[in-house]
Amino acid sequence: MEKNRKKPQASDLLAAFIASDGRMSILVVLLGLLCGTLIVLAVGRNPGNMFAALLQAMTGWDATRGVWNIRYVGEWLAVSTPLVLCGLSMAFAARAGLFNIGAEGQYIIGLTIAQFAALYLPKVPGLHAFLAIVLAGLGAAAWGGLVGWLKARWNASEVVATIMLNYVAYYLSRWATMQIPGANTYKTPSLPQSAQLDLPFLKDLTNGSTLNAGFFIAIASVLAFWWIMEKTRLGFALRATGFNRDAALASGIRANRSAVTSMAIAGAFAGLAGAVVALGSFGYGRVLGGFDNYGFNGIAVALVGNSTGLGVGLSGLLFGLLTGAQPLMQSRGIPKEITLIISGLVVVFVSLRAGLRMVLAWKRPLPATAGADGATAVADTGSEAPDA
């Protein structure tokens, strides 16, 4: 690693921002919020209302009416849970050099299996919910692993394959759920209490919010992600494949098996997200009427979190804040889709980030920032995308 220290300049400050993934992510998010503010201004609404909604979602403090209710904090954490898990799904595949747009479909499979398990497994308290979650994770792992296998065996583009499987999962879920006796076109009979994830102490703590045991599943998943990636031989093999597939192959890593394993584990994370939403948010099974978009937002979560465990956890909370603030914005006269626009802008800025870095590196050699850089791993997948 070369060192050429000179007098600090403005460009050095910029370079320092660009060299650190974490700081860059903060910059990207701030840019997204800034553009969102400008858009709200451009359509003649008051961006102050947007920030008031965000403040209320984060702290429970309603600045317009001067009331405080901690329930909003609980809802924020509750809605962050599936976002963190879907972000982990995207991130896990990205670290192995794959672009998993299929978290939405894997999420749907997990959700559907959890609903079936809740309705049909014996109602043993504790065990019932646990089994439902495990089955959802396994089912979604198989769904994700299928894409890895298609990629490994036939070199089918995982981007197109996962997108198509999202739609397949959606219609499959609708059809299967409507077969349940007593189900109509939008819901099934109520799920038994033994399958639900709500914890009385969390409910008391957050004034009756929907925050539930799923939040602990997300924390455990973040830790598991970190442990698998950084501390196990499997994680090392996956990261090596993500960095340089040929080099990994040459050093005896079976890259094809890596594709299946990483997509299966990615699927499991998204499946857990589905199970948490199915067993935690509603008292009944849902016949989906459209995508829940947790999986798609997971892409933004992973990109902002630089595909590391902790990073995804934090950015999941951030996007959870945006999602949690949606109804509060709508009631303040800001169309709630502004949060989707901000997510999209953030992803666009993330893509510019990699490019900006490249331009600067070309103009002036920067110290190598590779290390545990998830963004680099993501950047590598682009070259494989057209192999369809």
**What are the residues binding other proteins (CB under 8 A)?**
39, 43, 99, 101, 150, 154-157, 159-161, 163-165, 167-168, 171-172, 174-175, 290, 293, 296-297, 299-300, 303, 335, 337-341, 343-356, 358-359, 362, 378-379, 381-388
CB of 365 to other proteins, least distance (A): 15
Contact in structure between 253 and 76 (CB atoms under 8 Å):
no
CB of 55 to other proteins, least distance (A): 21
CB closer to other proteins out of 71 and 174: 174
Contact in structure between 299 and 101 (CB atoms under 8 Å):
yes
- SS3 sequence, 72-112? HHHHHHHHHHHHHHHHHHHHHHHHCCCCCCCHHHHHHHHHH
Q: Are strands 187-190 and 67-68 parallel, antiparallel or unpaired?
A: unpaired
Q: Read off the tokens for 209.
A: 């919010």
Is residue 128 packed enough to be buried (19+ CB in 10 Å), middle (13-18) or exposed (0-12)? buried
Q: Read off the tokens for 312.
A: 């995804």
CB closer to other proteins out of 157 and 369: 157
CB closer to other proteins out of 60 and 374: 374
CB of 133 to other proteins, least distance (A): 26
CB of 18 to other proteins, least distance (A): 12
Cα 344 vs. chain centroid, distance in angstroms? 14
CB closer to other proteins out of 27 and 121: 27
Of the candidates 38, 100, 144, 156, the one whose C-alpha atom is nearest the C-alpha of residue 301 is 100
CB closer to other proteins out of 6 and 370: 370
Where would I find the H helices in 43-70? 47-59
Cα–Cα dist 151/260, whole Å: 8
CB closer to other proteins out of 124 and 385: 385
- Phi, psi dihedral angles at 189 (to 5 degrees): -60, 165
Angle at which helices 21-42 and 309-324 cross, to 10°: 10
Cα–Cα dist 238/266, whole Å: 12
CB of 358 to other proteins, least distance (A): 5
Cα–Cα dist 263/261, whole Å: 6
CB closer to other proteins out of 258 and 381: 381
CB of 355 to other proteins, least distance (A): 2
CB of 308 to other proteins, least distance (A): 17
CB closer to other proteins out of 133 and 287: 287
Which residues touch 174 (CB under 8 Å, ≥6 apart)?
287, 288
CB of 357 to other proteins, least distance (A): 9
